Amino acid sequence: MSEFKYKSSQLHIEGVAISTISKSIPTPFYVYSATMIENNFLSLQSRLSDLNHLICFAVKANSNQAVLRTLAALGSGADVVSLGELKRALHAGVPPHKVVFSGVGKKAHEIEYALEQGILQFNVESVAELHNINKVAIKCNKSANIAIRINPDVAVDTHAKITTGTAENKFGIGYEQALDTFVLADNLPAITVQGIHVHIGSQITDVTPFKAAFKRVADLYKQLNALGIDIKVLDLGGGLGICYDPENDSLPDMAEYRQIIEDELSEFNCQYIVEPGRSLTADTGCLVSEVIYDKLGTDRNFLIVDAAMNDFARPSLYDAYHRISPVLESTKPNKKYDIVGPVCESGDTFAVARELPELESGDLVVIQDCGAYGAVMSGTYNTRPLIAEVMVKNDAFAVIRKRQNLDDLINLDQIPNWLAS
Ligand code: LLP
């Protein structure tokens, strides 16, 4: 259930009016509902109840430690893809034995740190990586628990830039090579094979492709079993979508998703890992921005807001649709606006020809469903500092990431001595 609601014409997140937050925190900023994060987690957990499962939140979706801690307190593990994400997850209180380490390019120092911490498993994506993990583990006098990510060559209906499970993607080991790779792994001295990993893409709203992918996992399990290779963990990846556009999107059918897992995989008595990112946090956060100028033309009306593509990249990167709403409920007539940021690129556009009640300088708007792949994908293009993140719980709010100080950003540059005056 959404915690974003108008009360007395003011958009609230839980018990706090967004306009109250903006009195002490300059726009733009991200704000998340802690209660929604908790509810999303608990609802997935109850969906999977009675299945031996572990939810490992995909930290790449939202790596703020307050978010990670909120999830860890409910028992979540973490799916990390870098040393930085691993450290954040551990600092936030995720126990190492609930951490899986994915990603195609793990470097030796990252592998070493993860091994020392005693993580649950490495999700291996290539033969070269397998040899490297084995080498590092020998050096550390440890054995590395691994799953091998297979590429099931299953297409899903999502944006081309976020599909991952087809043969032309860089992810996983081709299905035809999977068996040989498992046999190789099983023979490496410092590798303990424990799982099969699959992840087919993101923002999946029709769950049927999971069936084809899990069928391949089941086939492989049987072949490995026949060879005496003992698989205990099936890591089913993430990918469940959310409804960004109520007029066009549907939500994934979670009962069907669970049924697919049961139908295809339950005979094996393995532990299931799932790695949801977007479905746990996307709808829990929004980006609050102030209208700097309106610019009314004969052809187009522009609203120039103080958030930009560097703060929130999804619309410019994927042409992603995000609902945009005024913070103050208004009875003014609607106008069609292109909502754009101040960055010097035409792609710095959040919405085109969007109907909103008339707005002017100083009005606040929220861009919705920014709680996943929002703040984490921001940058400092046009020398714009990273913006603040805020969390609301009931009637309280707190800054969970300070806005980056402009001087700190500028002072990262160094002038070589041949240029020093
Ligand atoms: N596991 C693996 C191995 C992944 O690569 C991903 C996402 C996830 C789990 C989590 O997927 P989710 O449940 O969030 O769909 N920046 C893009 C999304 C990129 C997803 C990358 N991998 C976007 O803003 O749509």
Q: Which of 281, 304, 339 marks a domain boundary?
A: 281
Protein residue closest via CA to atom 5 of ligand 1: 199
The verdict on the CB of residue 44 being under 6 Å from ligand 1 is no
Q: Which of 281, 316, 347 marks a domain boundary?
A: 281
Peptide bond into 385 cis (omega under 30): no
Q: Are 81 and 164 in contact (CB under 8 A)?
A: no
The verdict on the CB of residue 373 being under 6 Å from ligand 1 is yes
Q: Ligand 1 pocket test: which of 202, 280, 316 has the largest number of ligand atoms within 8 Å of its C-beta?
A: 202
Q: Are 86 and 99 in contact (CB under 8 A)?
A: yes
Give 227 Cα–ligand 1 centroid separation in angstroms: 33
Site of tokens 């960055």: 343
Q: Are 48 and 272 in contact (CB under 8 A)?
A: yes
Residue 221 lies in a domain: yes
Residue 307 lies in a domain: yes
Q: Which of 241, 257, 281 marks a domain boundary?
A: 281
Residue 420 lies in a domain: no
The verdict on the CB of residue 197 being under 6 Å from ligand 1 is no
Residues 271 and 127 in one domain: yes
Residues 148 and 51 in one domain: yes
What is the three-class DSSP state of 65? Answer: helix
The verdict on the CB of residue 314 being under 6 Å from ligand 1 is yes
Give 122 Cα–ligand 1 centroid separation in angstroms: 17
Q: What is the CATH number of the domain that holds 17?
A: 2.40.37.10
Domain count along the chain: 2
The verdict on the CB of residue 275 being under 6 Å from ligand 1 is yes
Amino acid at 306: D
The verdict on the CB of residue 203 being under 6 Å from ligand 1 is yes
Number of alpha carbons in the 13 Å side-chain half-sphere of residue 321: 12
CA distances from 360 to 108, 290, 335, 345, 350 (A): 53, 9, 11, 22, 17
Give 238 Cα–ligand 1 centroid separation in angstroms: 7
Residue 416 lies in a domain: no
The verdict on the CB of residue 371 being under 6 Å from ligand 1 is no
The Cα 72–Cα 275 span in angstroms is 14
The Cα 198–Cα 214 span in angstroms is 8
Residues 83 and 213 in one domain: yes
Give 61 Cα–ligand 1 centroid separation in angstroms: 7
Q: Among 56, 140, 286, 344, which one carries the catalytic annotation? A: 344
Confidence at residue 288, expressed as pLDDT on a 0 to 100 scale = 99
Residues 75 and 22 in one domain: no
Amino acid at 295: K
Protein residue closest via CA to atom 19 of ligand 1: 162
Give 23 Cα–ligand 1 centroid separation in angstroms: 34
Q: Would residue 286 show up in a list of annotated catalytic residues for this protein?
A: no
Phi-psi region of 213 (alpha: psi -120 to 50; beta: other; left: phi over 0): alpha
Q: Binding site annotation covers 175?
A: no
Q: Binding site annotation covers 314?
A: yes
Q: What is the CATH number of the domain that holds 40?
A: 3.20.20.10
Q: Binding site annotation covers 14?
A: no
Residues 14 and 130 in one domain: no
- What tokens does 156 get? 């899903």
Go through 60-77 and write b for each residue having 16 or more CB atoms within 10 A of its CB, e for each that does not: bbbbbbbbbbbbbeeebb
Residue 415 lies in a domain: no
Residues 151 and 299 in one domain: no
Ligand 1 atom closest to the Cα of residue 197 is 3
Residue 236 lies in a domain: yes
Phi-psi region of 109 (alpha: psi -120 to 50; beta: other; left: phi over 0): alpha
Residue 417 lies in a domain: no
Q: Are 154 and 195 in contact (CB under 8 A)?
A: no
Q: Binding site annotation covers 256?
A: no
Q: Binding site annotation covers 345?
A: yes
Give 239 Cα–ligand 1 centroid separation in angstroms: 6
Ligand 1 atom closest to the Cα of residue 314 is 24
Peptide bond into 28 cis (omega under 30): yes
The Cα 273–Cα 267 span in angstroms is 16
Residues 23 and 116 in one domain: no
Residues 276 and 344 in one domain: no
Protein residue closest via CA to atom 23 of ligand 1: 373
Residues 277 and 296 in one domain: no
Confidence at residue 164, expressed as pLDDT on a 0 to 100 scale = 64
Residues 270 and 131 in one domain: yes
Residue 116 lies in a domain: yes
Confidence at residue 127, expressed as pLDDT on a 0 to 100 scale = 96
Mean pLDDT by 10 residues, the chain (421 residues): 96 98 98 98 97 98 98 98 98 98 97 98 97 98 98 78 66 93 98 97 96 97 98 98 95 97 97 98 98 94 98 97 97 96 96 97 98 98 98 98 98 95 76
Range of the domain at 89: 33-281
What is the three-class DSSP state of 97? Answer: helix
Q: Are 363 and 291 in contact (CB under 8 A)?
A: yes
Site of tokens 């109520």: 246
What is the three-class DSSP state of 282? Answer: helix
The Cα 261–Cα 26 span in angstroms is 46
Residues 228 and 361 in one domain: no
The verdict on the CB of residue 28 being under 6 Å from ligand 1 is no
Amino acid at 386: L
The verdict on the CB of residue 276 being under 6 Å from ligand 1 is yes
Residues 210 and 315 in one domain: no
Q: Binding site annotation covers 118?
A: no
Contacts of 2 by beta carbon, 8 Å cutoff, 6+ apart: 36, 283
Q: Binding site annotation covers 195?
A: no
